[in-house]
Amino acid sequence: MFKSKNMHEITWRKCGAFFILGLILALAQAPFNLSFTYVVVLPFIGLYVRDVKSAKLGFVIGWWLGFGYFVLTIVWIVEPFFVTPEVTGWMAPFALAGMAGGLSFFWALAFYVTVCLTIEGAMRLIFLALCWTLFEFLRANILTGFPWGHLSYGLIDLPIIQLTAWVGIHGLGLILLIVCFLPAILIPRFRLGIFLLGATLVVLSILGLWRSSSLILPNIKQTIVRVVQPNAAQHLKWRSDMVDIFYVRQLEYTSIKEKEKPDVVIWPETALPQLLENSPLIFQEIAKAAGPNTSVITGIVNKKNNKLRNSLIVINPAGTLDAIYDKKHLVPFGEYMPLVDIMNKLGLSNMVGLAGNFKPGQISRNISVQNFPDFIALICYEAIFPEYSSSSTNRPEWIVHITNDAWFGSFSGPYQHLVQARVRAIEQGLPLVRSANTGISAMIDPYGRVLKSLELQTAGYFDHILPAALPPTLYAKIGELGWLLIFCFLMFFCIKSIFKRSEH
């Protein structure tokens, strides 16, 4: 595959080639959405790994492939460092390299384990798909978890994304890998492999189209939702001369009269400029702007027992609170600094102060009020975790996602965050409504389709009737168990094959 004296030796040229392949693979993610890169890059990777003999080389190519992929996919993480560039701007390249390099270890370990435990041949590629999926699952869950940029999200504009309603992102990722490895699995019948790859994708696409072909009706209560987007740039959001401007802008959008009066208005994360305990008069003002019979969902900072919490509240027409939810999954290094004691002992106490001092909440994210349908509350980062959109108690009728994507810049972060929210809707079969400070705010139906939206970095609002929920999806009922059963079934036969070959 590579022009070198020994295909099993590690060279900088080879590392660079896999880094570039990782970059190309990342073009499937938003905002590029070039899904076809999967059927170009993944078969090539399969062809190469099939014959690799050195586990060390497997680790190296997995790491460089991942490094290229994550450098481009999560390049948006440099944006928060440039909110105050004179203080933290210098950290940006180190943060990107460190984060991308760390995430790449999961891919590297998947390749390493595969080459260690298998011999060359078709079975190795099935085993690689399983290991890759397993380590992606670990990436999504250990050390607080970070499932951002999963391969499945690169399929958002294709009907095949509907399979997440049955097997979630990890199950779809496993299917994608096995299908794209078919040409390499079927060597020397390469053309047959190409045909089966294309035919399988067509069948899966037809299945996705069939699932999403039903007409979505309005919910029984005919609930009308207004979504407000103030477009408060992060470097201006808390500036003393701008705070009132953004607040008044949200009030004005809330008070605008349309033919159909909204039942609920949604403001974004931390939309209110005061602590919750200091805001009773503001609640009255918001209720007056919304008018009778209209509630307002908004984000606010809540101080309890001298500890800050990032909260979502529901303000009723009387100007009092109907519900409150405190964000449970905080952003490490953003809303809090992990391993504070260790960092202080290492003399890095000055770094600790760069993160927020928020504490996680304990209140259920299931919100039930009287004048509009029950919903699941998600605040910003929580929307990237599939398990947070499910409910073990009474099933809600929709998902509300408030966020401040101003932190993510305008290149890729907000678009990728929207994609993940869309997949949450598909997984649960629930409509999802998101209000994002600078965008992209959207009304999303249970099939993940954007019905109405506000463009990035624009101020405005829209009204839209809330779609009806679908019956619970298979994924909503059994979660990760679906793909884990498939995983265990295939892994059993892989291990059985490995032991048989070792006996000979």
Residues with catalytic function:
269, 327, 380
Are 297 and 265 in contact by the 8 Å Cβ rule? The answer is: yes
Residue 57, token pair as written in the block: 């080389």
Compute the distance between CA of residue 417 and CA of residue 269 in angstroms, rounded to an integer: 14
Whole-angstrom distance, CA of residue 430 vs CA of residue 378: 13
| DSSP H or E stretch at residue 209 | helix 190-211
Nearest to 45 by CA among 97, 2, 109: 2
DSSP-derived 3-state class of residue 178:
helix
Q: Where do we find the tokens 């190519």?
A: 61
What's the rounded Cα separation, in Å, for the pair 152 and 166?
A: 13
Does the CA dihedral 63-409-240-296 come out positive or negative? negative
* Cα distance between residue 355 and residue 333, in whole Å: 5
- The residue ranges of DSSP E strands in 344-397, in sequence order, are 366-367, 375-379
Tell me the CB-side half-sphere exposure of residue 406, using CA atoms within 13 A: 22
What's the CA gap between 504 and 494, in Å, rounded?
Answer: 16
Cα–Cα distance, 341 to 392 (Å, whole number):
35
Full DSSP string of 5-70: S-TTS--HHHHHHHHHHHHHHHTTSTTT--TTHHHHHHHHHHHHHTT---HHHHHHHHHHHHHHHH
Distance CA 164, CA 166 (A): 5
CB-based contact 158:35 (threshold 8 Å): yes
The gap between the terminal CA atoms of the chain, to the nearest Å, is 29
Q: Which residue in this structure is represented by tokens 């990760």?
A: 480
Across 227-251, b (16+ Cβ under 10 Å) vs e yields: bbbbbbebeebeeeeebeebbebbb
What count of residues does the chain have?
Answer: 504
The rounded distance, in Å, linking the Cα atoms of 225 and 366 is 18
